[in-house]
Each structure stands twice: as structure tokens, then as C-alpha cells.
């Protein structure tokens, strides 16, 4: 985990395959027209211990084959995701990148049973906690992907398939030398905008002031997105539950900033 690298020198590394870098260079497909290729990728996540408890392992073994999948298969090959057959229905699709333990994922999916939610996370124990909640609370409209959300966007999802993308409290990488690790960079915004359908929504929240400023800038600079107007009707809810992470951040005096962009129709 944590070794997906982009090439800053303009190499065609649009795909995030876990094969060798050379293979990536050779096999990366053309970026969709109008979508910037990702610059060399450094991972936006840290490696974390991911041992599961016995009960999490039991749930994982029972449910992961049906409700979960890796972002990339072991050979590095990818096929577009068939969300309709995975969920067993056709419904508006939302991707949450970096769901952590899935507190928001579960609450928001339960609040909107007519929307299907894919939760992407690299942290296996977080996914296991989410899977346990899905099992315990019998939530039918969540599927889980283990891996880099950028790989999910690049490799599994086509242009215009998403009604929403959620990124709540992305790792802030506060030191300047780590800013390149931040998830929300111009190339990511372009990729997200491409995967959103017209009218689709990007919803971001962060408690880090510097990252918030960067997010505001890159989101506003993305020409395929515009800020949602106050009170504008949106195709997905933007009501978030307050997670443990957010409670701690607020207790430490942080201000949470929230951003909503829309892919304009037509
Ligand atoms: C600060 S936590 C926030 C978790 C959750 N969204 C919340 O609000 O409590 C950020 C999470 O994003 C995950 N993450 C970071 N970069 C990611 C990426 N490129 N793809 C998937 N998950 C990522 C990390 O593993 C971590 O669990």
C-alpha cells in the first residue's frame, strides 16, 4: 500500500495500475478528451496497520466476496465496473473517496435508499468496520472498493456515470513538502468532473484551513464545475452526520469548511 507514484515529468501515467512502472507507462490509455492526465502520482494515503478482529474477519470472509472488490485486480488489468449488476438495480451512483470507517457512508446511504454508494478506501480495517455496519444494520445500497480512489475513477468508472462524489476530511498533509500528496489536485478535480454526469455533485469537507483554501482554488479553477448556489436543488443529499473525526477536530478548535460543486447541465 502507499506506493502508487505519478511521474512528474509528463510521462503518460494516467492509469494507476499496480504493475511495474514500465508496464504503466506502456499500457496507460489515453486520458478522456479534455481531461488532464494525472501528473506523477504520489499516494495521498499512509500505510496503516490493518489487522482485523475475529468478528471483523468473520464478516469480511462472509461478505467481501459479494459486497467488496479491489480497485485493481492483481494482474493490474481493469475492466469498467458494472454497477448495475453489482447492486442488482439501476440507481444514481455516488462514489465516496476515503470513507475511513464509514460512519458518513452508512448514515447517508440509509438516508437515501434510492441512491447507490460505492465507498473507496485503502485502509482495510476501516472497510471492515463499514462492512460490519452494513451487515448489522442491513444496508443494501453500499458496495466497497479497497484501493486508491484515483484508480477507481480512472479505471473502473466511465465518463458521466456518477451522480455524486464525496470526499470528507481528506488527509491534509500539512507540511509543505507533502502538499503534493494531497488528493484534491487539479488533475483529480478534472477527473472527478469528467466522471460526474451533468447536474452531478462534488461534495468536499475539510477542517484544515490551508487545504481548504487549496480545495476552493482547484475546484473553482476547474472549468467543468461550478459552485452550487445556496438552496439549489441537488440530485443527492449533502446532509452529513458529524463523525468522530469531525468531533475531535471541532474540539481542537478547527473550523470545518464545506464545498459543493455541480457539473453544469448542457
Ligand atoms: C482523515 S481520514 C477521513 C475519513 C472519513 N472520510 C471521515 O470523515 O472520518 C482520510 C481517509 O482517506 C483515506 N484515503 C486517503 N487517500 C485515499 C485515496 N487516494 N483513495 C482511497 N482512500 C484514501 C485514508 O486511508 C483515510 O482513511
- Distance (angstroms) between ligand 1 centre and the Cα of 122 equals 8
C-alpha of 22 from chain center: 26
Q: What is the mean pLDDT of residues 196-211?
A: 97
Out of 26, 171, 207, 239, the active site residue is: 171
Residue with cell 491534509: 172
What pLDDT score does 77 carry? 65
Instruction: List b or e across 30-54, with b for residues whose CB sees 16 or more CB atoms inside 10 angstroms.
Output: ebbeebbbbbebbbbbeeeeeebee
- Taking the C-alpha atoms of residue 171 and residue 135, their distance in angstroms, rounded to an integer, is 27
Q: Is the CB of 261 under 6 A from ligand 1?
A: no
Give the CATH number for residue 202. 3.40.50.150
Query: Does the pLDDT value for residue 13 go beyond 50?
Result: no
- Distance (angstroms) between ligand 1 centre and the Cα of 75 equals 25
Select from 102, 117, 122 the residue to mutate for testing ligand 1; criterion: most ligand atoms less than 8 Å from CB: 122
Asked, for residue 7, whether it belongs to a domain, the answer is: no
Active site annotation includes 26: no
Which among 223, 190, 207, 182 has a CA at the least distance from the CA of 259? 207
- Distance (angstroms) between ligand 1 centre and the Cα of 266 equals 32
For the entire predicted model, the pTM comes to: 0.87
Asked, for residue 8, whether it belongs to a domain, the answer is: no
Query: Does the pLDDT value for residue 169 go beyond 80?
Result: yes
Q: How many domains is the chain built from?
A: 1
What digits encode the pLDDT tens for the residues 19-69?
A: 222 233 233 334 445 555 555 578 898 877 779 999 999 999 999 999 999
Query: Does the pLDDT value for residue 6 go beyond 50?
Result: no
Asked, for residue 248, whether it belongs to a domain, the answer is: yes
The residue range of the domain holding 138 is 13-262
Atom of ligand 1 lying closest to residue 168 CA:
6
What digits encode the pLDDT tens for the residues 59-68?
A: 999 999 999 9
Residue nearest atom 23 of ligand 1, based on CA coordinates:
98
Query: Does the pLDDT value for residue 82 go beyond 90?
Result: yes
Q: What is the mean pLDDT of residues 194-221?
A: 98
Asked, for residue 1, whether it belongs to a domain, the answer is: no
- Distance (angstroms) between ligand 1 centre and the Cα of 76 equals 22
**Percentage of residues in the chain having pLDDT higher than 90:** 76
What pLDDT score does 10 carry? 27
Atom of ligand 1 lying closest to residue 170 CA:
10
What pLDDT score does 52 carry? 95
Secondary structure (DSSP) of 142-162: EEEEES-HHHIIIII--TT-E
Asked, for residue 193, whether it belongs to a domain, the answer is: yes
Helix axis angle for 54-67 and 124-137, nearest 10°, is 80
What digits encode the pLDDT tens for the residues 87-129?
A: 999 999 999 999 999 999 999 999 999 999 999 999 999 999 9
Q: Is the CB of 14 under 6 A from ligand 1?
A: no
Residue with cell 468473520: 58
Asked, for residue 173, whether it belongs to a domain, the answer is: yes
Q: Which three cell numbers stand for residue 166?
A: 464525496
- Taking the C-alpha atoms of residue 38 and residue 8, their distance in angstroms, rounded to an integer, is 9
Residue nearest atom 4 of ligand 1, based on CA coordinates:
100
Asked, for residue 6, whether it belongs to a domain, the answer is: no
Higher pLDDT, 50 or 7: 50
Higher pLDDT, 18 or 196: 196
Instruction: List b or e across 181-194, with b for residues whose CB sees 16 or more CB atoms inside 10 angstroms.
Output: bbbbbebbbbbbbb
- The overall average pLDDT reported for the chain is 86
Sign, Cα dihedral of 205, 211, 217, 218: negative
Asked, for residue 5, whether it belongs to a domain, the answer is: no
Secondary structure (DSSP) of 12-67: ---S--SS-HHHHHHHPPPPPTT-PPP-S---SS-----PPPHHHHHHHHHHHHHH
Amino acid at each position: 500500500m502507499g506506493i502508487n507514484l505519478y511521474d512528474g515529468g509528463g510521462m503518460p501515467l494516467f492509469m494507476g495500475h499496480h504493475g511495474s512502472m514500465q508496464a504503466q507507462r506502456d499500457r496507460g490509455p489515453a486520458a478522456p478528451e479534455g481531461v488532464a492526465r494525472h501528473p506523477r502520482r504520489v499516494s495521498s494515503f499512509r500505510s496503516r496497520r490493518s489487522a482485523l478482529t475475529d468478528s471483523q474477519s468473520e464478516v469480511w470472509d462472509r461478505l467481501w466476496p459479494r459486497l467488496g472488490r479491489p480497485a485493481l485486480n492483481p494482474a493490474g488489468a481493469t475492466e469498467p465496473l458494472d454497477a448495475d449488476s453489482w447492486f442488482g438495480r439501476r440507481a444514481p451512483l455516488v462514489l465516496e473517496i476515503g470513507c475511513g470507517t464509514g460512519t458518513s457512508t452508512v448514515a447517508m446511504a440509509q438516508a437515501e435508499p434510492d441512491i447507490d454508494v460505492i465507498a473507496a478506501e485503502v485502509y482495510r480495517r476501516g472497510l471492515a468496520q463499514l462492512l460490519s455496519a452494513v451487515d448489522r444494520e442491513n444496508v443494501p445500497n453500499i458496495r466497497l472498493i479497497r484501493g486508491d480512489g484515483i484508480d477507481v475513477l480512472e479505471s473502473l468508472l466511465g465518463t458521466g456515470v456518477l451522480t455524486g462524489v464525496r470526499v470528507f476530511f481528506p488527509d491534509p498533509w500539512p507540511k509543505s513538502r507533502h502538499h503534493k500528496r494531497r488528493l484534491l489536485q487539479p488533475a483529480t478535480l478534472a477527473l472527478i468532473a469528467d466522471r460526474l454526469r451533468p447536474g452531478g455533485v462534488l461534495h468536499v469537507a475539510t477542517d484544515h484551513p490551508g487545504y481548504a483554501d487549496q480545495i476552493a482554488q482547484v475546484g473553482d479553477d476547474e472549468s467543468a464545475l461550478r459552485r452550487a448556489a445556496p438552496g439549489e436543488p441537488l440530485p443527492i443529499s449533502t446532509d452529513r452526520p458529524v463523525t468522530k473525526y469531525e468531533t475531535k477536530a471541532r474540539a481542537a478548535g478547527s473550523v470545518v469548511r464545506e464545498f459543493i460543486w455541480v457539473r453544469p447541465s448542457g
